[in-house]
Amino acid sequence: MTFPKRSARSIIRTIFSKPVSEATKGPPPIKPPSATSVDIRGSMQLRHVDAGSCNGCELEIASAFGPTYDAPRYGARLVASPRHADGLLITGVVTRNMHGPLVRALAATPQPHVVIACGDCAVNGGMFADAYGVALRLDQIVEPDIRIEGCPPHPNEIIAAFRSLTEL
Ligand code: SF4
């Protein structure tokens, strides 16, 4: 494979003429407290469950927990087991393959717990609502306490939802 040759001057001009990173917009505003009865002010451990996502939401969640948006600064952390979690962060439609694992993850999360639907697919089925592989909508299995709309939601929206629970 051959690559087009570019002069050093051309490369330097490209580097200094284009922004290489997205500008931060500062911390998002705090939304009013949610309706959930779970008191997780200050610290919230979440188990993420991909119930059938296209992975677009996962990219934004990864960004929300990355150094730019820094969800841990607002008390939100991801944990490896639902048994160690205050709630579930659920993305995607509920596919046939993930229906059982999602129900088991819900059962393994200590009560009371919070359920966060992240992205349009988890909120209402989104663009895959009528797809062959879909078992149910998330709200036919469990009523989410928090709904983060968007396809995918912006990291600021994800952070704002976390802050409505941790109040940080
Ligand atoms: S809401 Fe959009 S980005 Fe998120 S899983 Fe569904 S289709 Fe993908």
What gap in Å lies between CA 149 and CA 36, rounded to an integer? 18
Domain that holds residue 146: 36-166
* Residue 132 forms part of a structural domain: yes
Taking all residues of the chain, what is their mean pLDDT, rounded to a whole number? 87
Whether the link from the prior residue into 112 is cis, omega within 30° of 0, is yes
pTM exceeding 0.85: no
Query: Does ligand 1 come within 6 angstroms of the Cβ of 85?
Result: no
CATH number of the domain residue 84 falls in: 3.40.50.12280
- The partner residues of 134 in beta bridges, in order of sequence, read 95
Query: Of 57, 93, 154, which is best to mutate to test ligand 1, by the most ligand atoms within 8 angstroms of its C-beta?
Result: 57
71-107: per-residue pLDDT in tens?
999 999 999 999 999 999 999 999 999 999 999 999 9
Over residues 131-148, the mean pLDDT reads 95
The protein residue with its alpha carbon nearest to ligand 1, atom 2, reads 151
Residue 130 has a CB neighbour count (10 Å cut-off) of: 8
What is the b/e burial string over 101-122, where b = at least 16 CB atoms within 10 angstroms of the residue's CB? ebeebbeebeeebbbbbbbbbb
Distance from residue 7's CA to the centre of ligand 1 (Å): 41
Distance from residue 152's CA to the centre of ligand 1 (Å): 5
